[in-house]
Structure 1
Amino acid sequence: MIRLQDPYHDRIHSGGTVKNTVRTQMSQSVNLTPQLLQSIRLLQLTAPQLEMELLQALERNPMLEADEGDEAGETDAEGVDAAGDDAALEAAAWDELPEPAFTSSSSGGMGADDDGMARIAAGSSSDPRVRLLQELAVTWREADLVLAQWWLDRCDDRGYLEHPLDELLAEGADACGCDKREMDVIRLRLLNGPWPGMAAADPGECLQAQLAQLPDTPERALAARILSDYLALLASHDHAALAKALGSTADDTAAAVALVTSLRPCAVEEPVDAPSAYIVPDVVVRFLGGEWRVALNGRSAPRIRISAHCESALAQAPGDQSVLRGLLDEARWLVRGVAMRNDTLMRTAQVLVERQREFLVRGEEAIAPLTLREVADAIGMHESTVSRITTGKYIQTPRGTFELKRLFAVRLEGAEVSGAAVKAMVKRLIDNEPPHAPLADDTIAGMLERQGVRIARRTVAKYRDQLSIGPARARQRPARKAAA
């Protein structure tokens, strides 16, 4: 869209003369139709939210009725495909929207007072990166948000960087077209932002960032010294030696230690709305007849359809029936939108199960590297669509019930395995170590190398910290004496 500005709005006064200027400005906008907004909204709804949405629609729209035809409570792939054929043909390409288009209140298709986030289902995303970006979008510039998103994509679920800082700075500067200093400034803003410690390189940096936001007291100064210089003494719980090293009294040291232990081990905050006491799976996976079979959980939400007798009566009704016809159109949009959501969820779940069959059989150590882009390419949709349909959706498997996002895993740099798999290997080795002779980080790295997984000692230490496991010296226990 080319917008021609009012020439009288830009006047330049120079020497008593008035010079009119004409400027052209290019801007891109996306017109969000009601159908498009509804499709996006339905895509993001969790199972309980969808159930509430459909129950409310049944109450307020007489053109809808509950479909009680499926007694089994599950819908396989063929049923979803048949239900979604018409919806797929008539639906807009909502999966090709850029991610911020429906979350920004300045989108071209909305009024100045129309908040795009109000059209999304209430509740917080289960992905902490999404929640933080939504919070930052209120005050941060769009260009800075792009760099912030890049950093958050390189953080694990606890908010720690998944690779060494120097490597990420070089990679980010190249990927985002800026210098390392600008990338580091954005990371430091995240580190000291509303979630202090986010994008921290290690637990010490995370705790220091949290500590810096507390009131300036003598206890805080001592706590900062403990974090920077005496973590080993803190881990050993030797408060007397810690007080001596700090040159402080026992009471002051105890207060500083209490301040440190009150800090969160990671930066990620839980959603404001507490999760339900139970989880309703959206997808059910079973191993039957020698293969993994995927089905939608029909019991997670009521099935709806257009009321045939109401539609027939409306077609024969005389006079102006614009209100009822509007309700019929709304009902059709909703039925099609739900069919599209179910079709997308089914196809995404099938790809995830197919790619992670070894994980379902063998467990966490067999989880394969898998990205949003790979799944999006497999189902012919945009990455943002896959992100929305897997957020807050749960899959029930013989290995347990968990969020679909757990089936994604970042590839370990320079290897054919995922970081999650290697973390599980590290945990297994530590769980099986002799209590009197715990394994050092470099020993674990050597054992993994003999299994074909080459990682650095610092990577083992990072995974150990993420598992809340102390170093070898903190895990050592005296050997039991043989019974007399």
Structure 2
Amino acid sequence: MKGTLRGTMAQGVNLTPQLLQSIRLLQLTSQQLATELQQTLERNPLLEQDEPELETESPESDIAGFEAAAWDELPEPAFLAGMGSNGSFGGLDDDATARIADGESTDMRQRLLSRLALEWAAGDLPLAAFWLDRCDDNGYLEQSLDELQAEGEIEFPGRADDLSVVRQRLLHGEWPGMAAADPTECLSAQLRVLAASDARSLALRILADHVELLAAHDDTALATALSVDVAAVRDAVALILSLRAHPVEAPASVEDSHIVPDVVTWFAGGAWRVALGRHTTPRVRISAHCERALAGSDHTVLRGLLDEARWLVRGLAMRNDTLMRTAQLLVERQRGFLEQGDEAILPLTLREVADAIGVHESTVSRIVAGKYIQTPRGTIELKRLFAVRLEGADVSGSAVRAMVKRLIDDEPRHAPLADDVIAGILARQGVRIARRTVAKYRDQLSIGPAKARSIRSAAALQVAA
């Protein structure tokens, strides 16, 4: 056996420590970056925090004034075009005031009791409190009904019948299903407050006698057991699936944190302006007197610290520059979204942005990960400004999903739009999509089919009457 040597040539990338550090800085969130810099400042005495002078004219100096001015300068037609039928903008969140904490207790028992105190007799409130204190956070009884009934009769002698009546009032009251013994009783209570219909009657029969078949998703077996056709079973099952899994209503706002935007954009002087957030782009610099003292020094440890400091300063500068250029391009391309809402968002990919600013696609992916931009429409993730092009069309899937939501929001309450009807309306507007695509977007929006919406609308009208 004879051995041979053969030389080959190949290209490769040598990931130096400097390059690895720059890549890591790109993908750090603002909180992670702040922690990283704090640790580095404590470890490296050659670095110091660079505190820029406050700019009184900066858009961040007065956030409230900035947001008001941004809306004031938006062109009037775009302002109106972005509003939906309910006053929301472009199908984003509903009325922003609904997200402001309203001061209610986060304890569901206290919230419900405070409402009942306005309507119930004072003598029944202690009985209601008894049942609510024995419910878990989802609204279900924590012990068996018989045990709790016996305990209540001891605590409220001579009021056994009142205890049962009060539980039934809770069960079918403002939060249907409250104090239910099990999920079946909870769902049945929610059904009973709906308007009478064939689907509701069939749904009650399913919950009463055929929960196992419902859990198995066996519509054919349910149809056989109930002696009805499969279509009727599917309507009843759709009605059950539209109910809440538990009766407790969440408070108006439960916020345990806040987001500090990495980038700010505002409309002024007929153009969209972009700036990095002062609090999310901290700056560090090399201490001038330390750098002068080390000039010409050959001390290995100190020279190593100086090199580390220089790499970090350069890496931060590259991160900020890449973030700024990416945000500027995103704002420029998605100006329609900022002015009109989700229906105006354009198809945009990572590759398109990378090619436009002259970096690799992975660099764009890293720089937008976990970063937020503050706009007159609220603070959103930078990733939200990317959108996939709908196959065979010049619009994005996000825009079409917003169109579907607007059509459903504006539909007549007594005649909800079927998926094929929505597809037809969009086709007349120049957006051709299949019925199954409409159904897919509707499911993503957690909106039920037309039949389920019709039943819920009828129930709401009956309650209002």
TM-score, normalised on structure 1? 0.54
Give the CA RMSD over aligned residues: 3.3
Q: Quote how far apart the aligned CAs of 1:314 are.
A: 1.6
Deviations 1:113-146 (A, max 9, x none): xxxxxxxxxxxxxxxxxxxxxxxxxxxxxxxxxx
Q: Quote how far apart the aligned CAs of 1:243 are.
A: 7.8
Q: Quote how far apart the aligned CAs of 1:20 are.
A: 5.5
Aligned to 2:361: 383
Structure 2 residue runs without a partner (length 5+): 60-198, 218-236, 246-254
CA distance in 2, matches of 1:433, 1:295: 40
- SS of residue paired to 1:280: coil
CA distance in 2, matches of 1:237, 1:467: 28
Aligned mate of 2:304, from 326, 337, 340: 326
| Count of paired positions | 288
Q: Quote how far apart the aligned CAs of 1:250 are.
A: 3.1
Residue type matched to 1:368 in 2? L
- SS of residue paired to 1:298: coil
CA contact (8 A) 1:74 1:296 kept: no
Aligned to 1:71: 54
Aligned mate of 2:27, from 30, 44, 65: 44
Aligned mate of 1:470, from 448, 461, 464: 448
Aligned to 2:258: 278
Aligned to 1:335: 313
CA contact (8 A) 2:262 2:281 kept: no
Q: Relative to structure 2, which stretch is displaced further, 406-415 or 65-74?
A: 65-74
CA contact (8 A) 2:337 2:343 kept: yes
- SS of residue paired to 2:267: strand
Aligned mate of 2:212, from 252, 274, 279: 252
- Is structure 2 residue 271 aligned with structure 1 residue 291? yes
Residue type matched to 2:29 in 1? T
CA distance in 2, matches of 1:478, 1:251: 26
Deviations 1:12-42 (A, max 9, x none): xxxxxxx456697978754211001001000
Residue type matched to 2:380 in 1? F
Aligned to 2:439: 461
- Is structure 2 residue 284 aligned with structure 1 residue 304? yes
Residue type matched to 1:323 in 2? V
CA distance in 2, matches of 1:239, 1:22: 80
- SS of residue paired to 2:273: strand
- Is structure 2 residue 35 aligned with structure 1 residue 55? no
Q: Quote how far apart the aligned CAs of 1:239 are.
A: 4.6
Deviations 1:439-476 (A, max 9, x none): 00010011111111111111101101111111111110
- SS of residue paired to 1:315: coil
CA distance in 1, matches of 2:17, 2:56: 30
Aligned to 1:425: 403
CA distance in 1, matches of 2:364, 2:200: 45
Residue type matched to 1:52 in 2? T
Q: Quote how far apart the aligned CAs of 1:299 are.
A: 1.2
Residue type matched to 2:364 in 1? V
Q: Quote how far apart the aligned CAs of 1:315 are.
A: 1.8
Aligned mate of 1:315, from 277, 289, 295: 295
Deviations 1:54-113 (A, max 9, x none): 11111111111111123239999xxxxxxxxxxxxxxxxxxxxxxxxxxxxxxxxxxxxx
Aligned to 1:271: none
CA distance in 1, matches of 2:201, 2:366: 45
CA contact (8 A) 1:73 1:299 kept: no
CA distance in 2, matches of 1:326, 1:75: 38
Aligned to 1:410: 388
Residue type matched to 2:390 in 1? L
CA distance in 2, matches of 1:300, 1:448: 42
Distance 1:462 1:22, change over 3 A: farther
- SS of residue paired to 2:347: coil
- SS of residue paired to 1:299: coil
CA contact (8 A) 1:394 1:404 kept: yes
Distance 1:478 1:393, change over 3 A: same
- Is structure 2 residue 8 aligned with structure 1 residue 35? no
- Is structure 2 residue 344 aligned with structure 1 residue 366? yes
Distance 1:441 1:22, change over 3 A: farther
CA contact (8 A) 2:30 2:262 kept: yes
- SS of residue paired to 2:275: strand
CA distance in 2, matches of 1:70, 1:452: 52
- SS of residue paired to 2:294: helix
Q: Percent identity?
A: 69
CA contact (8 A) 2:283 2:316 kept: no
CA contact (8 A) 1:285 1:293 kept: yes
Aligned to 2:418: 440
Structure 1 residue runs without a partner (length 5+): 1-18, 77-234, 266-274
Max Rg structure: 2
Aligned to 1:175: none
Deviations 1:152-192 (A, max 9, x none): xxxxxxxxxxxxxxxxxxxxxxxxxxxxxxxxxxxxxxxxx
Deviations 1:289-334 (A, max 9, x none): 11100000121143111100011112266xx511111100000000
Output aligned runs, 1:117-266, within 5 Å: 238-239=202-203, 242=206, 250=210, 252-253=212-213, 256=216
CA distance in 2, matches of 1:469, 1:302: 43
Relative CO higher for 1 or 2, CA cutoff 8 Å, sep ≥ 6?
A: 2
Residue type matched to 1:334 in 2? L
Aligned mate of 1:392, from 361, 365, 370: 370
CA distance in 2, matches of 1:368, 1:316: 55
Residue type matched to 1:299 in 2? H
Distance 1:239 1:294, change over 3 A: same
CA distance in 2, matches of 1:316, 1:28: 37
CA contact (8 A) 2:206 2:214 kept: no
- SS of residue paired to 2:264: strand
